[in-house]
Amino acid sequence: MPQSTSGAGRTTASASTPLSSMAATGARSWRDYALLFALACCWSSTYPLAKLALDTIPPITFISARSLIAAAFLFAILWIRGVRIPTDAKAWKLFATQQLINSTFPFLVITWSQQYVPASNTVVLASTTPIFAFLITSLITRHEPATLLKLAGAILGLAGTVAIVGLDALGGFGREIVAEIAILLATISFACATIFGLRLSDYDPMVVAAGSLLFGGLILLPPSLIIDQPWTLHPTFQAIVATIVMGIVSSALGLMLFYVCLGRLGTLTTNAQGYLRIPIGVGLSVVLLGESVPSNLALGLLLVMAGVAAMTVPAERLKLR
């Protein structure tokens, strides 16, 4: 995905053709789809790894450490690429806002929730981002056209969340239900971030990620030191490894794979990993954590997968030829 950079992290295209058009003109091989599968695996591992780490690492310290590890990894890649980080206040204000709504707030909520909710439930509920993004776009911002297919996808996805949260609520309105609702609120924040992120298109995507992660890690460092007092913690080796792997694999490497896939497969195909990672994430939760898949989660999984698929599948592929 060749590109040149000028200034401090702003992107100047080496060719005038958009990434999606570039990808559309090239032949796709099994290696391209292997990269897409690898991306889905990286991002699917987020919540099972977090579940492993949260046993002995409090949420604030965990998120701060994960963010700083990912930022350090990305800054190293940027240094190798010779890309400079912007120093102007406008850029860092954008990075800070994006980080707050795309990571700091939602992940604080989700990591708290994961203390009471199985990772498999979290995977499915957190995958409803495209559905809430569609609802916000249709009802508030209206910057993209709404289609019947996307509306059907939103309805299916919402039905899936009702199947998970609503049926769990029949057993009693306990802390688990509150945590599941909190995950949905965090997912709405993710959806807002996908819309706000359109303002960052002038910057190199890896610069945005590195700057945002650095801000997120540093802003949570003082609360971590005051509240959690990390030097008094006794994290297990498993928790430490999970935190490092999540920082490098889920955050940093996953982001790099995302942009590689954008260049090779285009936007629409790359977005397809959104519903590919749902069964992978649930499968990892079963294998790594020994979680079970109750009937209401299985039903919700199928409905959410169908909904997210409808939100991302290209409309022209459904036309009869």
* Dist. CA 108–CA 222, nearest whole Å: 15
Name residues whose C-beta falls within 8 Å of residue 156's C-beta, 6 or more positions apart in sequence. 303, 304, 306, 307, 310
* Dist. CA 317–CA 309, nearest whole Å: 12
pLDDT at 268: 53
β-pairing verdict for 4-6 and 10-12: antiparallel
Quick check: helix, strand or coil at residue 6? strand
Quick check: helix, strand or coil at residue 156? helix
- The parts of the chain modelled with pLDDT lower than 70 are 1-28, 141-146, 166-174, 194, 196-198, 200-201, 259, 262-263, 266-272, 274-275, 311-321
pLDDT at 25: 45
In this structure, which amino acid lies at residue 82? G
* Dist. CA 235–CA 125, nearest whole Å: 28
Which residue, chain included where needed, has tokens 């009802």? 139
How far, rounded to the nearest angstrom, does the alpha carbon of residue 193 sit from its chain's CA centroid? 10
Q: What angle do helix axes 254-265 and 30-44 make, rounded to 10 degrees? A: 150
146: Cα within 13 Å, side-chain hemisphere = 18
pLDDT at 5: 43
pLDDT at 320: 44
In this structure, which amino acid lies at residue 246? M
For the chain, domain boundaries: 48-314
Quick check: helix, strand or coil at residue 11? strand
Name residues whose C-beta falls within 8 Å of residue 162's C-beta, 6 or more positions apart in sequence. none
Pick from 208, 270, 263, 241: which is nearest to 38 by CA?
A: 270
pLDDT at 12: 46
Q: Could you report how far apart the first and last alpha carbons of the chain are, in Å? A: 32
32-68 per-position pLDDT tens digit:
778 888 888 888 888 889 989 988 999 999 999 999 9
In this structure, which amino acid lies at residue 281? G
In this structure, which amino acid lies at residue 117? V
For residue 231, CA distances in Å to 68, 120, 234, 235, 247 come to 17, 31, 8, 10, 20
Dihedral-angle region of residue 4 (phi above 0 means left; psi in -120 to 50 means alpha; beta otherwise): beta
* Dist. CA 141–CA 133, nearest whole Å: 10
Quick check: helix, strand or coil at residue 157? helix
